[in-house]
């Protein structure tokens, strides 16, 4: 059974509880992308060079990334030759298979959060201002609270006007614990916050940080200091450092990922606002370009709309109209 058939079988049974969220959240990308693919399949019933050229343009417009698109087309050409595919409808199924394989790339997927065996699990959140980092922290806190975890938010973005207060509002709204002070050294606030986490026996600690990427050297120094403080307090922490990226920024989001990867140890990505863009292909591009797994995606405005990333649900959400 090919991957395409596997997806059809799995999702007909609705074994994935979040599948409807993926369908709805990726509708803008799907409407743009798959409708163009479908029209392409009507225009060209046979696989030829003109078909490949138009397919290339459609894939690049979906923000899958030029390198990813070229790699995909190379693989498609190879399979067309090896499997003697002449029909464009059959090739549509191969496209679904190959996009899945590009993301997996022979790796064991690490989409899950690394939980601490002892003491609190510490998640450090990084990202430039304006990408939805604070909102993401609030939604993440909501997710873990609903799972029965005791959660503490620490405001490490101490100098941006309103940042501490904004995070406190989210903590109150979600109903989780909070620690923060304005206009003092972030490492000091995080130090005191982690003391509080231990006293309160918090299970999940989510730490906000400044998003001043313009000053890479200063931000690197700050994050190094923060990481040392966290590591002294909690062995093996931070257990995750998640970079928040606005999916609608497309290739600029990839540049942010590359920059942050240079200055600190990123373990995974959170892609926000996927529901508001037709550039949902960014998930594939960013994985291949920066080699980091997507851990969560934002598929809407509601608290429940931050979802743990699932590659099968994502591929289905994009291609369900072809299946």
Mean pLDDT of 187-205: 97
Over residues 115-140, mean pLDDT = 94
**311 and 318 Cβ atoms separated by less than 8 Å:** no
CA distance 215 to 195: 30
Tens of pLDDT, residue by residue over 278-288, are 888 888 888 88
- Of 112, 141, 156, the C-alpha closest to 202 is 141
The CATH 3.40.50.300 portion of the chain extends over: 121-314
Task: In whole angstroms, give the CA distance from residue 174 to residue 115.
Answer: 21
How many CA atoms within 13 Å lie on the side-chain side of 18? 20
Residues of the chain with CATH 1.20.120.140: 18-104
Mean pLDDT (the chain) is: 89
pLDDT tens-digit map of 226-237: 999 999 999 999
Name the range with the highest mean pLDDT among 41-50, 159-168, 272-281: 159-168
Do 246 and 240 meet the contact criterion of CB atoms below 8 Å apart? Answer: no
Rounded to 5 degrees, what are φ and ψ at 60?
-65, -40
Identify the CA nearest to 246 among candidates 280, 220, 212, 215. 280
3-state secondary structure of 18: coil
Cβ(26)–Cβ(320) below 8 Å: no
CATH of the structural domain 18-104, one choice from 3.10.129.10, 3.40.920.10, 1.20.120.140, 1.10.3720.10: 1.20.120.140
Going from the C-alpha of 68 to that of each of 88, 147, 159, the distances in angstroms are 20, 36, 39
CA dihedral 61, 67, 68, 73 (to 10 degrees): 90
> What pLDDT digit, counting tens, does each position of 292-309 carry?
889 999 999 999 999 999
Task: Quote the tokens at residue 260.
Answer: 């942050």
Provide DSSP, 191-235. Answer: HHHHHHHHHHT-SEEEEE----TTSHHHHHHHHHHHHHHHHHHST
Contact 283, 289 (CB under 8 A): no
Give the model's pLDDT for residue 1. 47
Of 10-14, 199-203, 231-235, the least confident: 10-14
Give strand ranges (E) for 112-212.
121-126, 151-155, 177-180, 204-208
Nearest to 17 by CA among 320, 276, 308: 308
**8 A C-beta contact, residue 160 and residue 275:** no
CATH superfamily assigned to domain 121-314: P-loop containing nucleotide triphosphate hydrolases (3.40.50.300)
Of 323, 286, 308, the residue nearest 144 (C-alpha)? 308
pTM: 0.90
């Amino acid at each position: 059974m090919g991957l395409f058939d596997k997806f059809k079988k799995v999702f007909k049974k609705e074994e994935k509880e979040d599948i409807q969220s993926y369908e709805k959240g990726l509708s803008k990308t799907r409407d743009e992308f798959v409708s163009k693919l479908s029209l392409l399949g009507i225009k060209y019933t046979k696989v030829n060079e003109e078909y490949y050229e138009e397919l290339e343009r459609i894939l690049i417009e979906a923000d899958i990334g030029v390198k990813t698109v070229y790699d995909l087309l190379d693989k498609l050409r190879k399979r067309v030759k090896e499997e003697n595919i002449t029909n464009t409808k059959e090739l549509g199924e191969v496209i679904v298979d190959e996009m899945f394989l590009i993301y997996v790339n022979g790796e064991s997927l690490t989409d899950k959060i690394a939980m601490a065996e002892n003491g609190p699990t510490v998640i450090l959140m990084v990202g430039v201002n304006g990408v939805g980092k604070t909102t993401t922290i609030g939604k993440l806190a909501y997710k873990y609270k609903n799972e029965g975890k005791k959660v503490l938010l620490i405001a490490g973005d101490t100098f941006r006007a309103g940042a501490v207060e904004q995070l406190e509002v989210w903590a109150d709204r979600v109903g989780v614990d909070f620690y923060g002070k304005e206009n003092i050294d972030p490492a000091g606030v995080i130090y005191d916050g982690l003391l509080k986490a231990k006293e309160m026996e918090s299970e999940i600690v989510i730490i906000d940080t400044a998003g001043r990427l313009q000053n890479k050297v200063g931000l690197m120094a700050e994050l190094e200091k923060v990481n040392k403080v966290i590591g002294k307090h909690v062995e093996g922490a931070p257990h995750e450092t998640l970079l928040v990226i606005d999916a609608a920024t497309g290739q600029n989001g990839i540049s942010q990922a590359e920059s942050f990867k240079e200055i600190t140890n990123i373990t995974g990505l959170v892609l926000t606002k996927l529901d508001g863009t037709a550039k949902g292909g960014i998930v594939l591009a960013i994985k291949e370009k920066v080699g980091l797994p997507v851990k969560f995606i934002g598929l809407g405005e509601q608290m429940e709309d931050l979802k743990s990333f699932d590659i099968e649900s994502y591929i289905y959400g994009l291609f369900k109209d072809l299946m």
